Structure 1
């Protein structure tokens, strides 16, 4: 967000806090959910998408109907000659898409898994300009109905939080997603913390923040305070691997510690020096993520 535009927005939210906090909170929530234009790629993003063209051509592409519009699921078959090991669902993060998850997808394909990679609403080839936890978990539900059950769900960044919420059944009227394992890479674990950071950035006052929280509860059926990873994974003890870089500047290491506090079924691996995005392309991270999922067949792979 340009600095001048940010100053204007901060000024508007600061003034409106004293006049119409409920309207301000609702406006802040809608701004929070607004996604970047998926077609307006930076030069670097365009190059990454172009490099992945042949890779994407190997997939079968499924346009699935959701309440937020059509969502795209990309189905990658296991590498030729590999016995089928099950299906893994991959979920990208904010301002991301299936193309950026290529290394993980190829790692699971090489291990014999069919991989379904979901473009979340407002991202990649899916429709819309709005993404929140409710329509994201609903998109995962739809993918589960078409392609599940899953041997594992693997999520990066916001996609990891979506995966955890889907498995925990955090959204009203959406059943918990069936999955044997869960892999969270650089994933935020606290929606209240994310909202607090967003509010500080835009100068959203406390009464407007309360209205934002009310909107979350209205849409999800749960108070904002309940959307924390330790609480969710404690209630859904699926074997979980958390991979995080201590130097991650977008999602701090505190989020990884919170997930790890859910219980002994959560393993924490520190990926030193890999930040928030480079972590996806690291060979060692991919190998660890794949071997964790394969461990239900070969326990020795964890050691």
Structure 2
């Protein structure tokens, strides 16, 4: 999770002890808050601006989609993380594009150039299915952070992808909740109540979101690559090591990088390209 200001942590810590209902209401609002869309980095602008753009309507919102490279090439879908955007994959887009792939991505609801104020993993899943249905079988799906959980869940639930790559993966709904309440310093006695509130309000029709959105309980059947920066302070590298152990035959790469910087690391780019290429050979 992003770093939280010490004053905010102190407020949650104190309020959680003296007024638990107020603390839980505030923690839920904070959990849902996305904030202003992340800007396109200067280093990514050229790739962002030359993309072929499209639009989808999901959950009543306008979702902006992007495509690069040869439309006849093997499609690879990139799924960005929380408070991020498709352009953050710019170095990977260039790498896959040079290899002849048809690179696809999108700005999730309430992210980037798409509309909306809030989003859930259900919106991601709807978008992924729509793009995959249009593109046909994917040569690969690559997710970063929260996007890795969404991408992995999509594959376990039927999206056809020859390979799966998780970069700095959030491994489960429970892990997301746990990381958040620890980041804001909500008292441990309120952790389960916070998780139940999030589940009930964000997924009212889902009997057990913690069970559904969990890459340990539902390992991805496609050949898997896990990449995690050794200096990641938002999601511990141990998460990807555990996912690697839970996915027999998978590969683990740990570049010397942080949570977002890992997307630009040469070791990441080479590993992802090699994984997608090997998947194409194996499925031929």
1:193-214 C-alpha deviation (Å, 9 max, x unpaired): 2212222325261434333343
Q: Which residue of 1 aligns with 2:92?
A: 104
Q: Which residue of 2 aligns with 1:52?
A: 44
- Cα distance change on mapping 1:106 and 1:26 into 2, 3 Å: same
Tell me if structure 2 keeps the 8 A contact 1:134–1:219.
no
- Cα distance change on mapping 1:207 and 1:277 into 2, 3 Å: closer
Tell me if structure 2 keeps the 8 A contact 1:151–1:179.
yes
Deviation at 1:297, TM superposition (A): 3.9
- Cα distance change on mapping 1:219 and 1:140 into 2, 3 Å: farther
Q: Which residue of 2 aligns with 1:118?
A: 106
- Cα distance change on mapping 1:225 and 1:269 into 2, 3 Å: same
Asked if residue 296 in structure 1 is aligned to residue 279 in structure 2, the reply is yes
Counterparts of 1:219 and 1:121, CA distance in 2 = 20
Q: Which residue of 2 aligns with 1:162?
A: 150
Q: Which residue of 1 aligns with 2:174?
A: 192
Q: Which residue of 2 aligns with 1:28?
A: 27
Asked if residue 268 in structure 1 is aligned to residue 252 in structure 2, the reply is yes
Deviation at 1:298, TM superposition (A): 4.0
Counterparts of 1:296 and 1:8, CA distance in 2 = 49
Cα RMSD of the aligned pairs, angstroms, is 2.5
Counterparts of 1:123 and 1:217, CA distance in 2 = 20
Q: Which residue of 1 aligns with 2:63?
A: 71
- Cα distance change on mapping 1:102 and 1:288 into 2, 3 Å: same
Tell me if structure 2 keeps the 8 A contact 1:186–1:276.
yes
Asked if residue 146 in structure 1 is aligned to residue 134 in structure 2, the reply is yes
Could you list the runs of 5+ residues in structure 1 that have no partner in the other structure?
Answer: 170-175
Q: How many residues align?
A: 275
Counterparts of 2:17 and 2:131, CA distance in 1 = 41
